Amino acid sequence: MATTPIMQVRNVTKSFTRGGESITVLRDLNLEVAEGEFLGIMGPSGSGKTTMLNLIAGLDKPNRGEVWIGAQCISKMSESQLAKWRTRNIGFIFQFYHLLPVLTAYENVELPLLLLPLSAQTRKNQVLNALDLVGLSDRLHHRPGQLSGGQQQRVGIARAIVTDPTLIVADEPTGDLDARSAVEILNLMGALQKSMNKTILLVTHDPHAAERAQRVVHLEKGQLLESAQMEAAGLALPTAISTGIQPHAPLAPGTPGERGRG
């Protein structure tokens, strides 16, 4: 794995004002992620995991500190600069898929490409390639309502990788799936990270899902801690919850894809 940091969070603090009171969600946060790394991010509800993802993805800005992706300090960009930057550099995978129900799998995956200056043929090639990588070449013209939950999340992953982004940010991507589909989605994400050298940030509550990451950090009271730091501080590490996900359960034959099922 490459050791060059593709992402750096430097002394970041983020606060919100509610009812006239300032609430600090993240305090003096520092994090480096290497290019091609699969990072797991854990923490209790309200610990600031989604806030941190939003800062890294350029959806929000810190009150203090800097966020660097590659050689670019995105925390100093304007809103219009950030919008263009996100289109090319960030692939999002959501817990509830966020697919447009009236569009086919092909059309949902094509959406991010419509914001880029690409020819119709180039768009088509990239969409077909992305859907093939997630094993849905035989579901191009199916709408979300005609797909299982696992298949819908595969469409979401294809949409995330279709622009060949710098970072893939996944916010609880298995949270709405049954155990078997969750295993397959985690296997698929791991395979894409290895085969395409993609940098993946995975936010999850599930320790079994986090075990797929090469490194896991924990957000506690606005601070980032490695597992070793958690243990040294006497803080309990999360234990397995009843999702039924096994740490390294094998994917059924035919993956990526396992045609025709989620």
Q: What is the mean pLDDT of each run of 10 residues along the chain (262 residues)?
A: 80 91 92 95 88 94 96 95 94 93 97 95 97 95 96 96 95 91 93 92 90 92 76 55 40 40 43
Could you tell me the residue range of the domain that residue 134 belongs to?
36-61+90-232
One-character DSSP codes across 65-112: EEEEETTEEGGGS-HHHHHHHHHHHEEEEETT----TTS-HHHHHHGG
Does residue 113 lie in a domain region? yes
Residue 140 is assigned to a structural domain of this protein = yes
**Are residues 139 and 171 in contact, defined by beta-carbon separation less than 8 angstroms?**
no
Q: What is the CATH number of the domain that holds 114?
A: 3.40.50.300
pLDDT of amino acid 238: 57
Establish if 164 belongs to a structural domain: yes
The pLDDT assigned to 229 comes to: 61
User: In this structure, what token pair is assigned to residue 194?
Assistant: 């290895």
- In a domain, residue 108? The reply is yes
pLDDT in tens, 149-194: 999 999 999 999 999 999 999 999 998 899 999 999 999 999 989 9
What pLDDT score does 143 carry?
Answer: 97
**Residue 190 three-state SS:** helix
In a domain, 117, yes or no: yes
How many domains is the chain partitioned into structurally?
A: 1
Residue 253 inside a domain? The answer is no
Distance, CA of 22 to CA of 140 (rounded, Å): 48
DSSP state of 126: H
Question: Residue 136 falls within a domain, yes or no?
Answer: yes
Name the amino acid, one letter, at 95: Q
Write down the pTM of the prediction.
0.83
